Amino acid sequence: MIVPDFQLPAPLGRRRIVVAMSGGVDSSVVAALAARSGAETVGVTLQLYDHGEAVGRAGACCAGRDIRDARAVCDRLGIAHYVFDHETNFRTQVIDDFADGYLAGRTPIPCVKCNMGPKFTDLFALARQLGADCLATGHYVRRVEGANGAELHRAVDPARDQSYFLFATTRDQLDFLRFPLGGLPKAEVRALAAELGLGVAGKPDSQDICFVPDGDYAGLVRKLRPEAGEGGEIVHIDGRVLGTHRGLVGYTVGQRRGLEIGGLAEPLYVVRLDAATKRVIVGPRAALAVAAARIEGLNWLGEGASGEGVTVKVRSLARPVPARLEGDRVVFASPEYGVAPGQAAVLYSGDRVLGGGWIAATEAVETVAAA
């Protein structure tokens, strides 16, 4: 039997655990483990959006079918379940921010903004109103008690680690949060769900961007911001105009396919997006090499950590690479590719998350060398 550590004072029978439930297998197992611990357990689901095409789609999050699944799990476990409508907050803090980010030529990460806003800020207030001793979630990260307080660490299962998306978690939030799945592999979580007879045991994982039902990000942005469809020029870094495009929203830094400017001797990549002139700047792969990135909104969790052996991730699926933090700049030990404004730069010391911030601008290797 798996005995999760909710890191609460004994006896757990006197504790109340609020579980953030999305209707998926991970949060459902967390609720089951909390109930099994003997603590009073309450499931809470935020209704974040209700797009008609998403209501019945498997793999969504916090809408339609998922809310029903969360309620069914709570009924089976014999615990209370509450649903709170936070669609307005989600629209303004996440969806509108997503659209505006693409319009400005950035590469937004809505999952982080969702964690910073509705999922944590709003859920925290609700959990405290319900008299909770902690808020437990199904995220694959670990909370470790260190000499200077709670620390955020990567999950044991590297394929499931979600620490990149939680870099903006504050110290106060980390004190209240619990992540009981951080030490488990996904296969074991699914097996446990089946053993407990949870109907969601075989349910597919939710999509990264839950509010885009068909995966057409550009289409959603054009719908919300019609001006995103305004075209412009595709320009080589040497100044040559190579063609035209039908809106910056259709391009991301590092993109190679879909440029529709064939007939050239070398493959070209999107090097940057200029929102002011509506230009897509392209060049050879070497032009993507970045020496440093300026970050803003730094959230620091690394009190007491050594400055040695720091690594950084600039994409969720990228491997951490050696770097150092100099004020508001992350300086890479070796050239890094595919770094784009709007992404997050997350710093680690071993498995521990030191903090991170939003990439505001990048410094090309060629520019730094010339200086």
What single-letter amino acid sits at 74? C
Contact call for residues 281 and 340 (beta carbons, < 8 A): no
Q: CA distances (Å), 279 to each of 83, 90, 103, 104, 232, in order?
A: 45, 31, 12, 12, 6
Q: Give every CB contact of residue 171 below 8 A, 6+ residues apart in sequence.
A: 149, 150, 301
Known catalytic residue at 114: yes
In sign, the C-alpha dihedral spanning 299, 334, 311, 272 is positive
Which token pair is 182? 């951080």
Q: How wide is the angle at C-alpha 358 spanned by C-alphas 356 and 364, nearest 5°?
A: 105
Q: CA–CA separation, 157 vs 140, rounded Å?
A: 8
Q: CA–CA separation, 220 vs 201, rounded Å?
A: 31
* Options 61, 62, 74, 210, the catalytic residue: 210
Q: CA–CA separation, 44 vs 36, rounded Å?
A: 17
Q: CA distances (Å), 13 to each of 60, 268, 277, in order?
A: 34, 62, 62
Within 13 A of 302's CA, how many CA atoms are on the CB side? 22
* Options 61, 62, 114, 134, the catalytic residue: 114
Which token pair is 353? 């998350």
Cα dihedral 81/46/28/94 (nearest 10): -170
Q: CA–CA separation, 213 vs 218, rounded Å?
A: 12
Residue numbers annotated as active site: 114, 210
